[in-house]
Structure 1
Amino acid sequence: MTISITPSAQQRMRQFLAQAPSAAGVRFGVKRTGCSGFAYVVDLAEQLGEDDQTFQIEGVPVIVDAKSLPLVEGTEIDFQRQGLNASFVFRNPNATGECGCGESFTVG
């Protein structure tokens, strides 16, 4: 697994985990939605599913389900602030297109 997390994303994820000490880790994956097909999901994982895999990335437990794994392989997760807005940003080499709003992507 080659997901990477920038220092700013690591810091944000650690803040989330500190507020929820019972969480198993940060869930990263995709769901079918949006105008392009898939949307990223970043959330706290309260429990592990049967098909989940856990990766320690820079000390952050990242949980990815088996269906999402091939779609997020190689993705870099960043966290950026622009004015009053703050969000995770994804650089996914598997994405062959993105919608205009940047909320969803397609794969080849």
Structure 2
Amino acid sequence: MAITLTEKAAKHITRYIERRGKGVGLRLGVRTTGCSGLAYQLEYVDEILPEDTMFESLGVKVYVDPKSLAYLDGTELDYVREGLNEGFKFQNPNVKDECGCGESFRI
């Protein structure tokens, strides 16, 4: 089981945490929503929860709650710039289908 980051994602997260002046890593999860059923959740972590599973990739700690772990196993998180848009992109091998808008997915 693993969650990994690309070099671009790791640099972006590290810079953001430094600018915030606090934080121990990134929390990655899923929630039920959207037209395909699940959507990704990202937030910066200031407090580690006892049930969190921690992965470290390129010096960045990524925390995942137990319910989300099955959906996210093997995911690589990238940070991309496409035209005027930039943001995190998920390469999740578990995804079977995504909605047209790209905001939700199905496992």
Class of the TM-score when normalised by the shorter of the 2 chains:
over 0.9
Query: RMSD of aligned C-alpha atoms?
Result: 1.2
Distance apart, 1:83 and its partner CA:
2.1
TM-score normalised according to structure 1 size: 0.91
TM-score normalised according to structure 2 size: 0.92
Distance apart, 1:36 and its partner CA:
0.7
Residue number in structure 2 paired with 1:50: 50
Q: Which runs of 5+ in 1 are unaligned?
A: none
Matching residue's letter, 1:3: I
CA distance in 2 between partners of 1:92 and 1:55 (Å): 16
CA distance change for structure 1 residues 21 and 55 in 2, over 3 Å: closer, same or farther? farther
Contact 1:98–1:104 at 8 Å: present in 2 too? yes
Percent of counterpart pairs with the same letter? 43
Contact 1:27–1:63 at 8 Å: present in 2 too? yes
Give the aligned length: 107
Higher mean Cα deviation, 61-70 or 20-29? 20-29
Residue number in structure 1 paired with 2:72: 72
SS in 2 for 1:31: strand
- Bigger strand fraction: 1
Residue number in structure 2 paired with 1:85: 85
Q: Which runs of 5+ in 2 are unaligned?
A: none
Residue number in structure 2 paired with 1:100: 100
Contact 2:74–2:93 at 8 Å: present in 1 too? yes
